Amino acid sequence: MDIRESVLRHYGLVVSSLDLMSTGRVNRTYKLCADDGNTYCLKVYSDAVTDKRLYDGLEVTSYLIPLGFPVPRVVPTAAGDLVLVVDRLRLLLLRFLPGRNLALDEVGRAEGLGMGAMLGKLHHSLRFFPQADKLHNSLWRGSEESLPRLFDLLTTVQSKDRHDDFDYFTISSLTYRIQVMQGVDVGPRQFFHLRRQAIHGDYQLGNVLFDAHGTVAGVLDFDQTCYSFPAWELMRAIGFTCLRDGKFNYPLAAAMLKGYRDGGGMLAPSEYLEMPRLWYYQLVRGLFGFSDHYAGTPDPRQDEAAYGRHHAMVWLGQNMAELRAFIWDTTRH
């Protein structure tokens, strides 16, 4: 597929420059400058994102834009299509949002407050998203349903003639998960007393843009939008931001929790208390990074993500009570 030709034919735009910004399992992202003087973001999606998730994300961003949220605006084709399909690839042209992603070591209290506040505003507004339960349902499987595939993958790895470092890591991680699931059901039904609603689905530093003053300037990539627990998304955002090299940044987590409440995020006491367990159980049964690696398409970035999730999972398991007490103490006033 010739991107320049496709953009000219379907959008009527002459591309003056095209730069690859990122590539991954889900999509390739380009920064595109056109002859109309505007800058765009072009996303080329892989099969890792279903049509439903893609269109769910577009519905949610269309709902948020009139409310003033800094989220991507879709540019339709000349024929009025939101998603362009060319050579079995799906293309999405968006207005470019200025700002930059921050590394973990660049995130301080102000940025933590801002991240929390934006998530709080999103959750508050998305509480009223119509027919939220029609969005992709992100509920994970329980222990009984998940254990067979973990045993299958463990057998596959153990039966290899030669093992590398990632194989040994996989065996260790799978063994840990199996032992946990043999002792407790990690399924989501035990959390059905908690509220579910439309959420972003992947709110983390990689999908948040900041301006030069450290203020949140944009929220990207709504293709993981789903109907799930806001308490889970808040814990996940805090965990991926505050947990680094086995150490948890409690002051930064407190700032994110404060920002969340200041931004309008409203969780019941029971939701705050269950935040660590929600994320822990979802991590235990997940195989993000492992499945791709052993499907014959290993990617160093996915391998790195698997390491990161494993270490977060183990840390959570070891510090569940302490983290739960911290969240309770921080939010009860």
Task: Please say which residue of 95, 114, 137 terminates a domain.
Answer: 95
Task: Please say which residue of 78, 95, 112 terminates a domain.
Answer: 95
Contact yes or no for 52/59 (Cβ under 8 A): no
Please indicate, yes or no, whether residues 80 and 143 belong to a single structural domain of this protein.
no
Sheet strands (E) in 168-315:
197-199, 208-210, 216-219, 226-228, 243-244, 247-248
Instruction: Say which CATH number the domain at 14 has.
Output: 3.30.200.20
Instruction: Say which CATH number the domain at 240 has.
Output: 3.90.1200.10
Does position 138 have pLDDT exceeding 80, yes or no? yes
Q: Cα(115)–Cα(222) distance, rounded to whole angstroms?
A: 16
Please indicate, yes or no, whether residues 145 and 254 belong to a single structural domain of this protein.
yes
Please indicate, yes or no, whether residues 225 and 165 belong to a single structural domain of this protein.
yes
Q: What are phi and psi of 83, to 5 degrees?
A: -115, 130
Please indicate, yes or no, whether residues 82 and 169 belong to a single structural domain of this protein.
no
Please state the pTM of the whole predicted model. 0.95
Q: Cα(64)–Cα(86) distance, rounded to whole angstroms?
A: 28
Please indicate, yes or no, whether residues 272 and 244 belong to a single structural domain of this protein.
yes
Range of the domain at 72: 3-95
Q: Each residue of 171-224: pLDDT tens digit?
A: 999 999 999 999 999 999 999 999 999 999 999 999 999 998 888 999 999 999
Which pair of tokens denotes residue 330? 């921080």
Please indicate, yes or no, whether residues 60 and 24 belong to a single structural domain of this protein.
yes
Please indicate, yes or no, whether residues 84 and 214 belong to a single structural domain of this protein.
no
The residue behind tokens 């939701």 is: 271
Task: Please say which residue of 61, 78, 95 terminates a domain.
Answer: 95
Structurally, how many domains does the chain consist of? 2
Q: Each residue of 7-18: pLDDT tens digit?
A: 999 999 999 999
Please indicate, yes or no, whether residues 87 and 233 belong to a single structural domain of this protein.
no
Please indicate, yes or no, whether residues 112 and 78 belong to a single structural domain of this protein.
no
Does position 121 have pLDDT exceeding 90, yes or no? yes
Please indicate, yes or no, whether residues 38 and 75 belong to a single structural domain of this protein.
yes
Please indicate, yes or no, whether residues 90 and 109 belong to a single structural domain of this protein.
no
Please indicate, yes or no, whether residues 88 and 112 belong to a single structural domain of this protein.
no
Does position 162 have pLDDT exceeding 80, yes or no? yes
- What is the residue-averaged pLDDT of the chain? 95
